[in-house]
Amino acid sequence: MTAFNWQTAVIKIGSALVSPDGAGTSDKFLADIANFIIECRKQGKNVVLVSSGSVAAARGEIRTGQAVSPGKKSAMAAIGQTMMMATWSRLFGVTCAQLLLTVEDLNDRRRFVNIKNTMEQLLDEGVLPIVNENDTVAIDESKVGDNDNLAAHTAIAVQADCLIICTDVDGLYTGNPRLDPQAQLIPSVDHIDEGIMGLAGGAGSSVGTGGMITKLQAAQKCAESGIQTLLVNGTKAHTFRQLAKGSCPGTLFLAKNDDSTARQDWIKHTSHPKGELVVDHGAYLAMTERGASLLAAGITQVVGKFVADDAVLVTHEGQVIGKGLAAYSSAEIQQIKGAKSAQIQYILGYSDSAEVLHRDDFVRIAHDVSQVDAQ
């Protein structure tokens, strides 16, 4: 088993653990998880819980056929959320706080900072924060879509040093252990590349919505933000005995050495680009080789509609080189693109910034241009 240590952890619990029978909550697996968290808190460690299962918890409380409409699913989430929180509160025996989030909450910098401050204040007060997606009000375009990635965003927000994903499999395997008897557990992963991503199969249970791919996406976000991720089997009491000893009985995804700021981590992994700035070769070299800010003179094209402080992709010759926060709106940049910084005041009648995108608000990434919102 691989050794690890941590001080602040986000622990993600899947639907299959909260509602193993797919109807109502159960202590079957949650009691061991709760006892582990209680012991960690006694040792002075900080824990934030991300818990799935609100919809599954409400099955049996509302009439459903084989197909569940979006409206009925939202109603089930509203019912199940209270049931799930009551179960956790009873098991922990301490004050718990509920945070229900949507993509808009995470994408908006001010809301994200408020989420971060709220969770930090709760931890300082000895309260256990319990996070879930707000399935009651969220529609498709405002959903994170899975609680694995939500847990990663939460870990980045609280600047945790560990994400523990509890699921109903032992970890990442060389193949699907349910179909391949020769599949071997991978104890540690130091780099998540295409080969590792290729090991992800479909959803492993009929209750949850996140398969292995979302767990790997979460682990990748965390690794790039300097956060280690553990993928473990939450159905086994043995798992939590080993975790308490500082051993990972599943798969440990190692964190990269990271000197980025919390703001840069948010830009890279959480903010959603609303547009695109196409730059010339000079600006490309300045940003990638010298770490310079992006000036209006280096911009050749503006794609999409966005306002100041929105996230935008920066591209050169069809390739994404990074993402950052624009100091001006798309309409303003259309007017000043190609111009020298000293001309901004003359063109716009004001100058909020000499840079269109400051280097402190820019991170290097490699993503497909199709991530830009269609306008």
Does one domain contain both 296 and 147?
A: no
Tell how many helices (H) and how many strands (E) occur in the chain. Answer: 14, 15
Out of 264, 284, 316, a domain closes at 264
Does one domain contain both 152 and 240?
A: yes
Residues 353-366: pLDDT tens digits?
Answer: 999 999 999 999 86
Q: What is the rounded distance in angstroms from the CA atom of residue 154 to the CA atom of residue 51?
A: 12
CA-to-CA dists, residue 85 to 53, 91, 97, 260, 363, angstroms: 10, 10, 9, 35, 38
Out of 238, 264, 290, a domain closes at 264
What pLDDT is stored for residue 158 in this prediction? 94
pLDDT means over runs of 10, the chain (375 residues): 88 92 88 96 96 84 69 86 94 96 88 94 96 77 73 94 94 86 93 89 44 92 94 96 94 86 86 95 95 96 95 95 96 97 95 93 69 43
User: Position of tokens 């000293």?
Assistant: 342
Does one domain contain both 295 and 158?
A: no
Who contacts 102 (Cβ-Cβ below 8 Å, separation ≥6)?
Answer: 133, 134, 137, 138, 142, 143, 144
Does one domain contain both 333 and 199?
A: no
364 SS3 class? strand
User: Position of tokens 């000499």?
Assistant: 354
Does one domain contain both 125 and 54?
A: yes
For residue 43, how far is the Cα from the chain centroid? 27
CB atoms within 10 A of CB 344: 23
CATH number for position 311:
2.30.130.10
Does one domain contain both 252 and 302?
A: no
Does one domain contain both 288 and 199?
A: no
Range of the domain at 349: 273-371
Does one domain contain both 229 and 331?
A: no
**Main-chain dihedrals φ then ψ at residue 362, nearest 5 degrees:** -130, 140
Q: Which amino acid is at 218?
A: A
Residues 313-357: pLDDT tens digits?
Answer: 999 999 999 999 999 999 999 999 999 999 999 999 999 899 999
What pLDDT is stored for residue 371 in this prediction? 45
User: Position of tokens 């998540």?
Assistant: 192
Does one domain contain both 186 and 283?
A: no
Who contacts 226 (Cβ-Cβ below 8 Å, separation ≥6)?
Answer: 161, 255, 256, 257, 258, 260
Do the strands 275-279 and 247-248 form a parallel or antiparallel pair, or are they unpaired? Answer: unpaired
186: left (phi over 0), alpha (psi -120 to 50) or beta: beta
What pLDDT is stored for residue 319 in this prediction? 94
Does one domain contain both 253 and 285?
A: no
For residue 23, how far is the Cα from the chain centroid? 27
CATH number for position 98:
3.40.1160.10
Does one domain contain both 219 and 329?
A: no
The number of domains in the chain is: 2
What pLDDT is stored for residue 81 in this prediction? 92
Does one domain contain both 174 and 200?
A: yes
What pLDDT is stored for residue 7 in this prediction? 95
Out of 264, 287, 321, a domain closes at 264
